[in-house]
């Protein structure tokens, strides 16, 4: 039997192979047959070498504050229905994405400023950072919110943002925009009307305390109202107050877990995450606490609300984050979180694309025990 010539060694076969690859590229095709890693065309390596999100830390004081204040001075409500700065991951640029499927944006509203309603097929939350009179109106529920409060603006719900107080209000947004864009499902609406008349503000149809009055803290479901709000693709509870979530952490302060003390924001009617594409957590790191090393293929966006947190990723990155900062931890990295204070707790707001991975049976989570064993997490 004749010998098979080595590819890539200057033989006629290697010349023909290079010509074939050139023609494949010209025809907008990609060859998918695995080759050895020491030859020119290793398709598996090429397939895995696409743009990937990087672990990254945005400091509000260093990177954002001056630009946020400048944007408030230069960008006015007459020319826009939003004033936001999106955190763009350097590994994904020019895509508007903080991690592969999600983005975080910061918004500042001047005192007594109201922007007109809009809607979109991306799901979103707003998290109050500074000011106690942030405003988001969602489908006729006018919500005033402050530090640590989370407000939902579900898919296809009309909503508008602003500030109803005499001090500027800063909040943080998380959207599944990059995922919806990849699925070719991203749409926006800006022409808000009631009875055929275009309006700059929605008429209130619910009381401002509706979410808390009807849904409380869970465990009791009102049977005297319809819970079919929006298009039914999210939790019908549109605001989750910080004091409610914070109290759950405080009540369980002595609990033990490799992953740390974490509570998830959940749908009070159906259970599970508030959206089908992303979920949110509040995590307490008690004084001096350090989590076990954690690894998951879901991506995380971490924003301290109290205290500081040191985030180590793959023993290559160390991010020291404080209030108003954001850390991006893409999936498939080892991570630990640590509270450097010996006297006060650190409380972190965390966004994740876990539900999107779980829907396809792809979610994987693990921790490394003090003995060095890797164990799966539920």
Question: Which residues, other chains included, contact 164 with Cβ-Cβ below 8 Å and sequence gap of 6+?
Answer: 112, 114, 133, 135, 144
Q: Where are the domains of the chain?
A: 57-376
Lowest mean pLDDT across 72-86, 261-275, 278-292: 72-86
Contact 377, 365 (CB under 8 A): yes
The values of phi and psi at residue 331, to 5°, are: -65, 160
- pLDDT value of position 339: 97
* CATH architecture assignment, domain 57-376: Sandwich (2.60)
Structure tokens at 79: 């020319």
- pLDDT value of position 41: 59
- pLDDT value of position 8: 46
Q: d(Cα 38, Cα 43) in Å, to the nearest integer? A: 12
- pLDDT value of position 238: 96
Confidence tier at 323 by pLDDT (50, 70, 90): very high
Confidence tier at 260 by pLDDT (50, 70, 90): confident
Contact 43, 32 (CB under 8 A): yes
Q: Is residue 3's pLDDT more than 50?
A: no
- pLDDT value of position 220: 86
Query: DSSP letters along 1-58, please?
Result: -PPPPPTTSS-HHHHHHHHHHHHHHHTT--------TTSS--HHHHHHTS-----EEE
């Amino acid at each position: 039997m004749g010998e098979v010539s080595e590819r890539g060694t200057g033989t006629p076969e290697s010349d023909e192979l290079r010509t074939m690859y050139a023609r494949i590229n010209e025809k907008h095709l990609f060859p998918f047959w695995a080759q050895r890693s020491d030859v020119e065309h290793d398709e598996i390596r090429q397939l895995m070498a696409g743009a990937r999100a990087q672990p990254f830390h945005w400091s509000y004081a260093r990177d954002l504050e001056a630009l946020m204040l400048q944007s408030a001075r230069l960008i006015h409500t007459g020319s826009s229905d939003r004033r936001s700065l999106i955190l763009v991951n350097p590994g994904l640029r020019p895509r508007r994405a903080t991690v592969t499927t999600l983005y975080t944006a910061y918004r500042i509203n001047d005192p007594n400023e109201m922007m007109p309603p809009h809607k979109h097929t991306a799901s979103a939350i707003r998290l109050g950072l500074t000011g106690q009179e942030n405003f988001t109106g969602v489908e006729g529920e006018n919500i005033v919110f402050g530090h640590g409060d989370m407000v939902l603006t579900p898919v296809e719900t009309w909503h508008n943002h602003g500030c109803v107080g005499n001090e500027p209000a800063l909040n943080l947004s998380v959207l599944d925009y990059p995922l919806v864009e990849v699925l070719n499902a991203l749409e926006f609406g800006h022409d808000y009307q009631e009875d055929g008349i275009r309006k700059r503000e929605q008429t209130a149809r619910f009381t401002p305390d509706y979410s808390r009055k009807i849904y409380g803290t869970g465990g009791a479901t009102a049977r005297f109202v319809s819970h079919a709000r929006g298009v039914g693709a999210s939790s019908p509870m549109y605001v989750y107050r910080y004091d409610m979530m914070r109290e759950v952490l405080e009540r369980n302060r002595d609990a033990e877990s490799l992953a740390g003390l974490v509570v998830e924001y959940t749908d009070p009617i159906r259970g599970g995450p508030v959206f089908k594409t992303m979920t949110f957590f509040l995590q307490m790191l008690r004084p001096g606490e350090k989590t076990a090393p954690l690894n998951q293929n879901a991506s995380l966006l971490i924003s301290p609300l109290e205290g500081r947190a040191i985030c180590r990723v793959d023993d290559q990155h160390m991010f020291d984050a404080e209030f108003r900062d954001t850390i991006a931890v893409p999936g498939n990295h080892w991570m630990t979180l640590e509270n450097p204070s010996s006297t006060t707790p650190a409380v972190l707001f965390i966004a994740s694309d876990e539900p999107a991975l779980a829907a396809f049976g792809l979610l994987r989570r693990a921790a490394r025990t003090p003995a060095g064993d890797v164990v799966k997490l539920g």
